[in-house]
Amino acid sequence: MEKIGWVKVTYLPVDKYGIVDIKDIRQAIRPETVLVSIMYTNNEVGTIEPIGKIGRLIKEINQSRISNLKSKIFFHTDATQAIQYLDCNVDGLGIDLLSFSGHKLYAPKGIGALYIRSGVPFVRQQDGGGQEYNLRAGTENVPYIVALGKAIELVEQNKVHSTKCIEKLKSKLIEGVLKISGVKLVGHPTNQAPHIATFIVEGAEGEAMLLLLSDKGIAASSGSACTSGLLKPSHVLTAMGYKPQEAHGSLRFSLGKDTTLKEIDYVVKVLPEVIKKLRKMAPKLI
């Protein structure tokens, strides 16, 4: 919409942990602002944004705008990485629109959902039949919709237990990986999603680490899956202040319901060997 000239968009900076400053949001809001969209949890570094505080800020601003007969601001969050583990109560967080993908909580790939609060103005993006309350044309994929509903039900039943289990495994992973020299944890040290651990490895290139780890049967990523085919440094890490050469050495692990302590121990055992090998192969700067 911005590219075709329909809207003006303001992009906010983040701090070294990847967190948006509430003050920056307040300053960025213009009289014509109608939407604020903030990712709940970053998919590359796992940092959790202060969604509840942002929701309260927008509510406060809306109260003054309504009294001045100005248009309301609506608040959207991408909760794809948060839906399985974090509080996604839209009323408590002050959210008007919430989107997520089903495969992150073990529903089939290709199904997702967008929550729209009653009263939010919404215009369909494609013409055709009158499905989905006349908001989206096309035949619904009923089996996938049912699967997504069941996945949400199971997540809600097991959220507390699964979160604690994943957090223990992640702590074990971080403890082991940080014993390697020249490796640092990326993102906020405590305000973190329980299932994502991202590191920057000095002297080793991300894609090379992935290849060697894959040979050992370990699946990891460098940056996000959305940009896995690109050779550019992560825009997330550079926005957080990391140099391009540092960003190229990023290594991300995502834990899930099937991750075991044995697998974590295996990663901690294999990774030092991989990094040591790549550092030996790296060209020496004169």
Contacts of residue 225, Cβ cutoff 8 Å, sequence gap at least 6: 43
In contact, 7 and 33? CB cutoff 8 Å:
no
Helix, strand, coil percentages, rounded to 5, for the chain: 40, 15, 45
Alpha helices in 8-50 (DSSP H): 22-28
Classify residue 47 by its DSSP letter. B
**Cα 213-46-34 angle, rounded to 5 deg:** 140
69, 219, 226, 285: the catalytic one is: 226
Distances (CA, A) of 239 to 12, 17, 232: 10, 10, 13
226 is catalytic: yes
d(CA 109, CA 94): 28
Indicate the helix (H) or strand (E) that contains 113: strand 112-116
Which active-site residues does the annotation give?
A: 226
